Chains A and B, each alone.
Chain A
Amino acid sequence: MDFAFTEEQEFFKKIITDTVDKMVVPKAREIDEKDEFPWELWKDFTRLGYLGLRYPEEIGGMNADPVTAMIFYEQIARGSVGFAQSVIMNILMGTYFVYRFGSDTIKERCLYPAMRGEKVTTMCFTEDQSGSDLAATRTTAVKDGSEWIINGTKMWITNGPVADFATVLATTDLSLGAKGLNFFLVEKGTPGFSPGQVLDKLGCRGTVTGELVFDDVRIPEENLLGAELNKGIEYLGEILDEVRVMTGAMAMGIAQAAYNEGLEYARKRIAFGKPIGNYQLIRAKFADMATEMEASRLLIYSAAWKMKEKLPSRIEAAMAKMFATETCCKVVDEVTRIWGANGFANEYNPQRHFRDARFLLYGGGTHEILKDFMGRLLIGKA
């Protein structure tokens, strides 16, 4: 068992850490305060080429393995969650099905520009009445000759208000539940497709999130992203583990950012004549945080390694996501406590990490859903 990153991975980690420190960290507060898509940072950062992280070199990507990818996700989230969410949408969920099933012309129009940062993309599952319960999806896709007609409203769509194209989950048959689901490509400018209400959120501000409305949107046949009809859920399974482990990695990025703030304060804040880091209760907090973060990272990277080796990773990915997220929520809580009242002052960062961590609780699956699903698998058919 080798628990170390390879020299290559260590180097990559150093570069991306430095890059994030230089380009993203200084903008994090502003992104959170303005709560607008950070176009300038997007242009500067995407120019470096990281949006192609997971795709083959032949099409301009980096062909990063899952372990290397997790290193990236952790660092970008550490820099700014508001920015990170938009970036990872382009890196994975928003482009995957286009990459997997899109025709050459579709790839030319959508995938490659998205990899270059010239187009912003997104993935649409959630609706007002269906979050965890995908089978309750009500956005429909009806075949009409050589076209599909999409109708419905999607909610909580990251990048929704600014997306140039979207991968949309829709059902061809409401009575089939999960078995009727498919992914469709819808591009900006298609009549009937429009952004709706933008959501004002507690955390992940800077990531513009909103409604997307599909009103008799007609798309050509080839925009069905799938080799066969009604296999959407199965195809989703191809990236589900990665999405979950990625969420865990992001949790560690946020936790690390908060943890570093906690360290700084514990070292310099004086009370009763000495830095508060001298007191047992404060020391205990760091011990707990560091231990759980270490355990979280081991779960994340071991799940990523299993994915890399093409070993089964469904349970491990869910474990990594849950454990890392719970750890992150604990860390951001403790850090605001270490900072005392300053922990909820807008002027300082701990309150931002505290707010940003919340999305982790449901992104990639709520813990209640994951526990039920994991328990079911572990116990077997009861």
Chain B
Amino acid sequence: MDFSLTKEQKFFKGQISRALQRIVAPFADAIDVSDVFPRELFRELGALGYYGIRYPSDIGGMGADCISFTILAEELARASIGFAAIVTMQCLMGTDFIYRFGNDEQKKKYLIPAIKGDKIGTIAFTEPDCGSDLGGIRTRAVKNERGYILTGRKLWITDGDVADFVTVAATTDPGKRLGGIGFFLVEKGTPGFSTGQKIEKISARGAATMELIFDECQVPATSLMGEEGKGAKYLNDILSEIRIMIAGLGLGLAKIAFVAGLNYARQREAFGKPIGKFQLIQEKLAEMEVRIKAAEFLTYHAAWLKDKGSLTGKEAAMAKFYSTETACYVVDEVSRIHGAYGLAQEYPAQRYFRDGRFLLFGGGTSEILKTIIAKDTMKRSDFEIN
């Protein structure tokens, strides 16, 4: 058993960490306060080539493994959760369907520029009445001689306001629930496709979450990604990867918050000494560190299994659930360590505290994930390290 990163992975981590800390981290507060898409930063990072991390080098990608992608997610989250949400969307959900199912023209028009950071992609499945229950979506795709007509409303769509193209989940057969879902590639500016209201939120600000409106939107037959009715399966194919990615985000947030708490504990004095010398503060630091370590192992173990080809949904669910809950635990304790300053806008503790919330839902709520884990557990009984 070798628990260390490979030389390449270590190098990659060093590079991306330095780049993000230099380019993005100084703007984290500004992104949070303004809640505006950080175009300059997005372009700057795109030019470095990271958005193609999962894609092969012949289309401008990096062909990197899952562990590396997880490292990227972690480092992004350390710099800024809002920015991380945007970039991870670009790297994975927002582009993956075109990579897997797009024709050459679509790849040329959307995927290649997206990898460079010249176009922004996003995915849209959530609706006002459907979050966890994907099978209940009501956006309809009705076949006609020119392709499909999309009608419906999506909500909570990351980058909905700036995305150049969207991969949209719609059903060709509502009665079949999950079995009726297909994904469609829709370009910004297509008649019948518009953005609606923006959801003002306290968490992951900078990554705007929007309403998207499809009003008898005609799309060509080629916009169907893959086959009708197979959409849920296609999403499922990348779901574990999404969950590991979010686990990585959780780790990044937990670690940066932990360091802030640690620094405060070292420097803030009370009763004649730094508060880090008091047992109760020490207890917090110890609890946090152990949990972060555990989250780290669960996350990278899942990523390693993916790279090996033997990942199951359960490990990914465990990683996501534990890592994001740990992040929320850490940002809570860190805000307590900061005392009243945990409330003050001028310290990042309150931003970390708010940002933790968004991690609880993307990729599946903890409640849903626990049922997934338990369902699998009920079928098995072994606890081998594999």
Chain A residues packing against B (C-beta within 8 Å): 126, 129-133, 135-136, 156, 199-204, 270-273, 279, 281-282, 329, 333, 336-337, 340-341, 343-347, 351, 354-355, 358-359, 361-362, 366-368, 371-372
- In the bound complex, residues from chain A placing their C-beta under 8 Å from that of B278 are 368, 372
Question: For the complex, is B202 an interface residue (Cβ under 8 Å from A)?
Answer: yes
- Cβ of B336 to closest chain A Cβ, rounded Å: 6
- Cβ of B219 to closest chain A Cβ, rounded Å: 27
Give the total number of A-B pairs whose CB atoms are below 8 A apart: 113
- In the bound complex, residues from chain B placing their C-beta under 8 Å from that of A372 are 278, 280
Interface size class of B (residues with CB under 8 A): 35 or more
The answer on a CB contact under 8 Å between A200 and B344 is: yes
Chain A to chain B: the 3 pairs with minimum beta-carbon distance, closest first: A346-B200, A368-B280, A200-B345
6 contacts between A and B (CB under 8 A): A199-B345, A201-B343, A281-B367, A340-B131, A341-B361, A344-B203
The answer on a CB contact under 8 Å between A135 and B342 is: no
The answer on a CB contact under 8 Å between B269 and A129 is: yes
- Cβ of B127 to closest chain A Cβ, rounded Å: 11
Question: For the complex, is B17 an interface residue (Cβ under 8 Å from A)?
Answer: no
The answer on a CB contact under 8 Å between B336 and A347 is: no
User: Whole-angstrom distance between the alpha carbons of A203 and B345 in the complex?
Assistant: 10
User: Whole-angstrom distance between the alpha carbons of A277 and B35 in the complex?
Assistant: 33
The answer on a CB contact under 8 Å between B358 and A271 is: no
- When C-beta atoms are compared, the residue in chain A nearest to B342 turns out to be A358
Q: Which of B67-75, B256-264, B305-313, B349-357 contacts A (4 or more CB under 8 A)?
A: B349-357
- Cβ of A81 to closest chain B Cβ, rounded Å: 12
Find residues 99-132 in chain B having any chain A CB closer than 8 Å to their own CB: 126, 129-132
- In the bound complex, residues from chain A placing their C-beta under 8 Å from that of B353 are 202, 358
- When C-beta atoms are compared, the residue in chain B nearest to A372 turns out to be B280
- When C-beta atoms are compared, the residue in chain A nearest to B284 turns out to be A368
User: Whole-angstrom distance between the alpha carbons of A351 and B360 in the complex?
Assistant: 14
Contacts A135-B271, A351-B202: A282 and B367 contacting too (C-beta < 8 A)?
A: yes
Question: For the complex, is B223 an interface residue (Cβ under 8 Å from A)?
Answer: no
Please indicate which of the listed interface residues B126, B130, B344, B346 has the most CB atoms of chain A within 10 Å of its own CB.
B344
Point out the residue from B136, B271, B336, B361 that lies within 8 Å of A272, measured CB to CB.
B136
Point out the residue from A133, A272, A281 that lies within 8 Å of B133, measured CB to CB.
A272
- When C-beta atoms are compared, the residue in chain A nearest to B209 turns out to be A341
The answer on a CB contact under 8 Å between B357 and A345 is: no
The answer on a CB contact under 8 Å between B343 and A359 is: yes
Question: For the complex, is B340 an interface residue (Cβ under 8 Å from A)?
Answer: yes
Question: For the complex, is B189 an interface residue (Cβ under 8 Å from A)?
Answer: no
The answer on a CB contact under 8 Å between A346 and B340 is: no
- In the bound complex, residues from chain A placing their C-beta under 8 Å from that of B281 are 368
User: Whole-angstrom distance between the alpha carbons of A296 and B361 in the complex?
Assistant: 29
The answer on a CB contact under 8 Å between B357 and A131 is: no
- Cβ of B81 to closest chain A Cβ, rounded Å: 12
- Cβ of A358 to closest chain B Cβ, rounded Å: 6
User: Whole-angstrom distance between the alpha carbons of A204 and B271 in the complex?
Assistant: 28
User: Whole-angstrom distance between the alpha carbons of A336 and B339 in the complex?
Assistant: 23
The answer on a CB contact under 8 Å between A337 and B366 is: yes
Find residues 249-288 in chain B having any chain A CB closer than 8 Å to their own CB: 269-271, 278, 280-281
The answer on a CB contact under 8 Å between A337 and B270 is: no
- In the bound complex, residues from chain A placing their C-beta under 8 Å from that of B136 are 270-273
The answer on a CB contact under 8 Å between B344 and A201 is: yes
The answer on a CB contact under 8 Å between B132 and A271 is: yes
- Cβ of B377 to closest chain A Cβ, rounded Å: 15
Point out the residue from B129, B336, B358 that lies within 8 Å of A366, measured CB to CB.
B336
User: Whole-angstrom distance between the alpha carbons of A347 and B156 in the complex?
Assistant: 13
- In the bound complex, residues from chain A placing their C-beta under 8 Å from that of B345 are 199-202
User: Whole-angstrom distance between the alpha carbons of A272 and B357 in the complex?
Assistant: 23
User: Whole-angstrom distance between the alpha carbons of A135 and B358 in the complex?
Assistant: 41
- In the bound complex, residues from chain A placing their C-beta under 8 Å from that of B202 are 344, 346, 351, 354-355
User: Whole-angstrom distance between the alpha carbons of A282 and B132 in the complex?
Assistant: 13
Chain B residues packing against A (C-beta within 8 Å): 126, 129-133, 135-136, 156, 199-203, 209, 269-271, 278, 280-281, 328, 332, 335-336, 339-340, 342-346, 350, 353-354, 357-358, 360-361, 365-367, 370-371
Other than the given A341-B358, A345-B201, A358-B343, 11 more pairs (CB < 8 A) read A130-B270, A200-B344, A203-B343, A281-B371, A340-B131, A340-B361, A340-B365, A351-B357, A366-B339, A368-B336, A372-B278
The answer on a CB contact under 8 Å between A131 and B340 is: yes
- When C-beta atoms are compared, the residue in chain A nearest to B279 turns out to be A372
- Cβ of B188 to closest chain A Cβ, rounded Å: 23
Contacts A344-B358, A362-B339: A281 and B370 contacting too (C-beta < 8 A)?
A: yes
The answer on a CB contact under 8 Å between A337 and B339 is: no
The answer on a CB contact under 8 Å between A131 and B343 is: no
- Cβ of A353 to closest chain B Cβ, rounded Å: 12
- In the bound complex, residues from chain A placing their C-beta under 8 Å from that of B201 are 344-346, 351
User: Whole-angstrom distance between the alpha carbons of A323 and B108 in the complex?
Assistant: 60
- In the bound complex, residues from chain B placing their C-beta under 8 Å from that of A367 are 336
Point out the residue from B340, B342, B365 that lies within 8 Å of A337, measured CB to CB.
B365
The answer on a CB contact under 8 Å between A371 and B280 is: yes
- In the bound complex, residues from chain B placing their C-beta under 8 Å from that of A200 are 344-346
- In the bound complex, residues from chain A placing their C-beta under 8 Å from that of B156 are 341
The answer on a CB contact under 8 Å between B367 and A337 is: yes
The answer on a CB contact under 8 Å between A133 and B270 is: yes
- Cβ of A140 to closest chain B Cβ, rounded Å: 19
Please indicate which of the listed interface residues A333, A337, A358, A368 has the most CB atoms of chain B within 10 Å of its own CB.
A368
User: Whole-angstrom distance between the alpha carbons of A103 and B133 in the complex?
Assistant: 67
- In the bound complex, residues from chain B placing their C-beta under 8 Å from that of A204 are 343
Contacts A271-B133, A281-B367: A132 and B339 contacting too (C-beta < 8 A)?
A: yes
User: Whole-angstrom distance between the alpha carbons of A270 and B129 in the complex?
Assistant: 7
Please indicate which of the listed interface residues A129, A282, A343 has the most CB atoms of chain B within 10 Å of its own CB.
A343
User: Whole-angstrom distance between the alpha carbons of A219 and B346 in the complex?
Assistant: 34
- Cβ of B230 to closest chain A Cβ, rounded Å: 21
- When C-beta atoms are compared, the residue in chain A nearest to B362 turns out to be A341
- In the bound complex, residues from chain B placing their C-beta under 8 Å from that of A354 are 202, 357
- In the bound complex, residues from chain A placing their C-beta under 8 Å from that of B199 are 345-347
- In the bound complex, residues from chain B placing their C-beta under 8 Å from that of A273 are 133, 136
- Cβ of A15 to closest chain B Cβ, rounded Å: 32
Point out the residue from B133, B335, B357 that lies within 8 Å of A336, measured CB to CB.
B357
User: Whole-angstrom distance between the alpha carbons of A371 and B366 in the complex?
Assistant: 31
- In the bound complex, residues from chain A placing their C-beta under 8 Å from that of B135 are 272
- Cβ of B56 to closest chain A Cβ, rounded Å: 34
